[in-house]
Amino acid sequence: MALDQALRGGPSTSPLEAPLTNARGQLGAVAFSYALLGALYCFFAASLIDFSWTGSWSQLWQDLGAYSANSVALFGGIALGHWILAGLSLRYLALDRTWRGLTLIASLLLALWNIGAAVRLTILGAAEALEFMPTPTVFAGKWLFALAYAICSYLLWEHRGASNNRWSGP
Residue count of the chain: 170
Q: Which one-letter DSSP state was computed for residue 93?
A: G
State how far the Cα of 149 lies from the Cα of 25, in Å rounded to an integer. 17
pLDDT tens column, 1-15 = 555 555 566 565 555
pLDDT at 88: 95
Is residue 27 over pLDDT 80?
Answer: yes
pLDDT at 110: 94
CA within 13 Å, CB half, 138: 17
pLDDT tens column, 58-109 = 666 666 666 666 788 888 999 999 999 999 999 998 999 999 999 999 999 9
Give the type of residue at 115.
I
pLDDT at 40: 93
Give the type of residue at 58.
S
Task: Summarize the confidence of residues 161-170 as an average pLDDT.
Answer: 56
pLDDT at 146: 94
The contacts of residue 90 (CB under 8 Å, 6+ apart) are 27, 28, 31
pLDDT at 4: 54
State how far the Cα of 170 lies from the Cα of 166, in Å rounded to an integer. 13
pLDDT at 39: 96
pTM of the model: 0.73
- DSSP assignment of 99-148, as one string? HHHHHHHHHHHHHHHHHHHHHHHHHH---GGGTTS-HHHHHHHHHHHHHH
pLDDT at 123: 87
Give the type of residue at 121.
L
Average pLDDT across the chain, whole number: 80
pLDDT at 162: 64
Task: Give Rg (Cα) of the chain.
Answer: 20
